Amino acid sequence: MTKTGPWIVAMALAGTAWLGAQGAPPTQTPAAPGGRAMRPPKPETVTNPDGHIVQSEVQKLRVEVVARGLETPWGLAFLPDGRLLVTERPGRLRIVDHGKLSDPVVGLPKVEQVQDGGLMDVEVHPKYAENGWIYLSYAEPGPNNTSLTERADNNTGMTAIIRGKIDATNHWVDQQFIFHAAPEFYTTTHIHYGSRFVFDKQDHLFFSLGEHGAPENAQDLSKPTGKIHRVNDDGSIPKDNPFVNHPGAVPSIWSYGHRNPQGLAFDPVTGELWETEHGPNGGDELNIIKPGHNYGWAVVSNGRQPGVTETSRAGMDSPIVFWTPSIAPAGIAFATSDRYPKWKHQLFVTALGGQVLRRIVIDHDRVTHQEVVFDNLGRVRDIIVGPDGLFYVATALPGQRLSDTTEGFILRLVPIS
């Protein structure tokens, strides 16, 4: 689907989603004085969510706190034995074992914990029981950095991706780089790291990189930023990647024209790769990712960006849905368990700015319905399905800015009717 093809427009207003007719022009969100899109008043945040009851349209839930006392939890991944790996953005990797939070894993690389940067996603190799590999993404400080905790004009950072193992003494060992950018890509902007992981059934690792505040790079195939990448599990390049034989292109690129993609998930029914990304002042996107396709940033956008005046262009894929005002979408997951029979095969999107868990009903490549499941439990960063078939969600209490480090929780959503 290109930018000139049909689309569905969703407006997140007052906690409700509006769906425009396919082929219709985007509906304008009502604007406040000064031309800024109006936001609904935020509900009061539940600071102790344990036992909180959520009544969605088709499912009643009890929220259980699995772990508390975390600082801005970012990524979640289960080990085969049921223990849960959690990254904290300030640079810690923890293990939750039956409600007990471990000490931080020792020996992780130093991270640049400034603005959006820090320790980000975590993923477990599909064959972890055989090889023990764990994958991490983080903001790696450049060689000229003067501080890892304060923003300075000459401090640089860039997304790095590694794999390693946790030994019996809780140490990070056998580290290998999966992606490590050239020095010229390290930047002082400290924003738009992207950084979500997903494995396919052939054990290819997909990972997202934001454009790090340089929108023009998202269209440049010689630069890794503003892209979704696909590599083998050891970081080598699959021979069938779309740009592997394109002169000058980064061979790991799978798709391009992305701004800040923070959600990746495969549809268990169709096998399609779905993605969410942050737009500029609105225009957050939900996309289906196709190899070699161009998703338009920063030539076109449904958000507001100086110099970007088009919302569509031939050869650039339109979002399946976009949200204005922004909800700042992050991790996504499909409901694959019989524990939620009325949610089976539906997509769940976490959101930071909207502090929302959003349910999305999909019919192949169309969104037919949306619901806000809850919007009062803090910023929602990641969601995964546990071995018990239940959703586990990473949240953090809101601060003044999205980049603030605040207390976080791991929540389990238990159906009660």
* Rounded alpha-carbon distances, angstroms, from residue 37 to 32, 44, 282, 310, 403: 6, 21, 8, 19, 22
Tell me the average pLDDT across 244-268.
Answer: 98
pLDDT tens-digit series, residues 400-414: 888 899 999 999 999
Q: Where are the domains of the chain?
A: 47-415
- Selected catalytic residue, list 190, 192, 229, 258: 190
pLDDT at 147 over 80: no
Position 174 scores a pLDDT of 98
- The residue written with tokens 């699995």 in the block is 66
pLDDT tens-digit series, residues 151-160: 677 789 999 9
Give the pLDDT band of residue 224 (cuts 50, 70, 90).
very high
pLDDT at 36 over 80: no
pLDDT tens-digit series, residues 58-76: 999 999 999 999 999 999 9
Domain 47-415 class?
A: mainly beta
The question of whether 190 is a catalytic residue gets the answer yes
Position 337 scores a pLDDT of 94
Amino acid letter, 129:
A
Give percent of the chain with pLDDT exceeding 70: 89
Does residue 135 contact residue 125 with C-beta atoms inside 8 Å?
yes
Position 402 scores a pLDDT of 83
More confident residue, 110 or 148: 110
Which residues, 6 or more positions from 53, have their beta carbon under 8 angstroms from its beta carbon?
60, 61, 62, 63, 416
Q: Mean of the per-residue pLDDT values for the chain?
A: 90
pLDDT at 13 over 70: no
Residue 185 dihedral angles phi and psi, to the nearest 5°: -90, -5
Tell me the average pLDDT across 190-198.
Answer: 96
DSSP string for residues in 220-240:
-TTS-SSEEEEE-TTSPPPTT
pLDDT at 248 over 90: yes
pLDDT at 379 over 60: yes
Does residue 275 contact residue 287 with C-beta atoms inside 8 Å?
yes
